Amino acid sequence: MGLKSNLHSLKEKYRGTKMAPAFNALHTFLYAPNETTHSGSHIRVVDDLKRTMNTVIMALVPCLIFGMFNAGYQHHLALGEIGRADGFFSAIFWSWDNLVIGLWKVLPLVIVSYGVGLAIEFLFAVIKGHEVEEGYLVTGMLVPLIVPIDTPLWMLGVAVAFGVVIGKEVFGGTGMNILNPALTIRAFLFFAYPTWMSGDKVWVHGAVARDKAIAAGQNVDAISGETVLGSLAQNHEPSYSVAEMFFGMIPGSVGETSTMLILLGALFLIFTKIGSWRIIVSTVAGALTMGLIFNFVVAQGWISESSKFFGLMNTTWWHHLLIGGFAFGAVYMATDPVTGSQTNIGKWYYGFFIGFISILIRVFNPAYPEGVMLAILLMNVFAPTIDHYVVQGNVKKRMKRLKVKTA
């Protein structure tokens, strides 16, 4: 309790001064305040919206830090300046050089995401005359983690503006949105600027610039940074080991690569009861089911090796959890309490279909070898319908019971 009482006394000391909000914010960020209410209800839960948001951000921080190191690592690796890291704690990976590149490339993404998003939140709060809502805190952190490292900043700004206005504010702001705002932003980027969101050039910093240099006639080697999914979609065997996929030392969007850290984040979210374990478990189950079905199809010989779907179909069923953005989506996006199903039974269906459809899209969509974004957006739309039928089913069951009793 030492830190807490210290913070409390600091807060008391600065009460009424200009610095007070800073200490207040720090205090409420870390602990529930000691103040008691003077009127109205006296028992309140401490996990308000702000605390919920902060918890998710804390769960995201490891992914962010890993993403920064990975950005530099992939860059230097592709340039041939360093060798492959041989384990999670390899000094090649956790080097100062890698972090510098990561900071240089990732921090601007974070700043633009928060800057544009919060500016719009403030604008709408002023126009509509309500308090600024904390709703953008998590979205603002998710967005830089799910875009490719070389995304131009102005594109990100435009997409954030679109996603916050069309994805959230038109529905009435935080808590009223139908679609996950972070995924709306990513979907906008994907459909508006597909060349920056797919292919083998955007996942490693420097590849696009190198391409331009080659086009301008310079004599340098092209960098290819194909994602695991990208190479599987072209029936190439990916050149990464399972351990590398699990640790996340593979090209991909900034924060989505490390399944291990996402798993830690998931445990943290489940432990703090912020993320629904039902959704996470059922999403994974759905993905595994679809993976097994595809493996079965391959084992039965129903699909020829020359088929363009063979590479992804033949992927060992549980590898689907390690590659692409599946793990990130399942843990941080599908569990969004606003856009997901609200009923416990509904959550099982909701999650299962997300996993199921993710892998389905992943395998059968030739232009875009990743399905989790579209699957979650699709199920966001269906979540209220699922809830409706769960509730109605319950009503029916109880009405029947009532009839039996009265009869």
Partner 1 sequence: MGLLSKKDTKLITDPLADNNPITIQVLGICSALAITAELKASIVMAISVFFVLGIGNVVISLLRNVIPSKIRIIVQLVVVAALVIIVDQVLKAFAYELSKTLSVFVGLIITNCIIMGRFEAFALGNGPWRSFLDGIGNAAGYGLILIIVGFFRELLGSGTLLGFPVLGNPIPGEQTGLYALGYENNGFMLLSPMALIVVGIIIWIQRSRNKDLIED
Q: Which residues bind partner 1 (CB under 8 A)?
A: 152, 154-155, 158, 166, 170, 188, 191-196, 212, 215-216
Give CA–CA dist 146/205, Å, rounded: 15
Of the two residues 128 and 400, which places its CB atom closer to partner 1 in the complex?
A: 128
Contacts of 130 (CB under 8 A, 6+ apart): 173
Of the two residues 49 and 192, which places its CB atom closer to partner 1 in the complex?
A: 192
Q: Is 347:340 a contact under the CB 8 Å cutoff?
A: yes
Give CA–CA dist 357/386, Å, rounded: 16
Shortest distance in whole angstroms from residue 198 CB to partner 1: 12
Of the two residues 212 and 236, which places its CB atom closer to partner 1 in the complex?
A: 212
Shortest distance in whole angstroms from residue 213 CB to partner 1: 12
| Type of residue found at 282 | S
Shortest distance in whole angstroms from residue 188 CB to partner 1: 6
Shortest distance in whole angstroms from residue 49 CB to partner 1: 26
Give CA–CA dist 19/5, Å, rounded: 18
Shortest distance in whole angstroms from residue 162 CB to partner 1: 9
Of the two residues 97 and 211, which places its CB atom closer to partner 1 in the complex?
A: 211
Shortest distance in whole angstroms from residue 215 CB to partner 1: 6
Shortest distance in whole angstroms from residue 112 CB to partner 1: 14
* 112 CB-contact burial (10 Å; exposed 0-12 / middle 13-18 / buried 19+): buried
Of the two residues 93 and 196, which places its CB atom closer to partner 1 in the complex?
A: 196
CA dihedral 97, 100, 102, 103 (to 10 degrees): 170
Shortest distance in whole angstroms from residue 380 CB to partner 1: 15
Of the two residues 3 and 216, which places its CB atom closer to partner 1 in the complex?
A: 216
How far apart, in Å, are the Cα atoms of 144 and each of 17, 67, 110, 148, 163? 35, 10, 6, 8, 14
Of the two residues 92 and 153, which places its CB atom closer to partner 1 in the complex?
A: 153
Give CA–CA dist 369/364, Å, rounded: 8
Q: Is 354:290 a contact under the CB 8 Å cutoff?
A: no
Which DSSP letter does residue 136 get? Answer: H
Selection from 281, 321, 336 nearest residue 139 by Cα: 336
Give CA–CA dist 178/28, Å, rounded: 29
* Local structure of 304: helix, strand or coil: coil
Give CA–CA dist 105/80, Å, rounded: 19
Shortest distance in whole angstroms from residue 60 CB to partner 1: 27
Give CA–CA dist 314/302, Å, rounded: 12
Shortest distance in whole angstroms from residue 42 CB to partner 1: 38
Shortest distance in whole angstroms from residue 377 CB to partner 1: 12
How far apart, in Å, are the Cα atoms of 66 and each of 105, 209, 236, 347? 13, 23, 27, 30
Of the two residues 188 and 246, which places its CB atom closer to partner 1 in the complex?
A: 188
Which DSSP letter does residue 319 get? Answer: G
Structure tokens, 110: 């974070």
Structure tokens, 5: 């009482």
* Local structure of 308: helix, strand or coil: coil
Of the two residues 164 and 280, which places its CB atom closer to partner 1 in the complex?
A: 164
Of the two residues 96 and 154, which places its CB atom closer to partner 1 in the complex?
A: 154
Which DSSP letter does residue 170 get? Answer: G
Q: Is 116:159 a contact under the CB 8 Å cutoff?
A: no
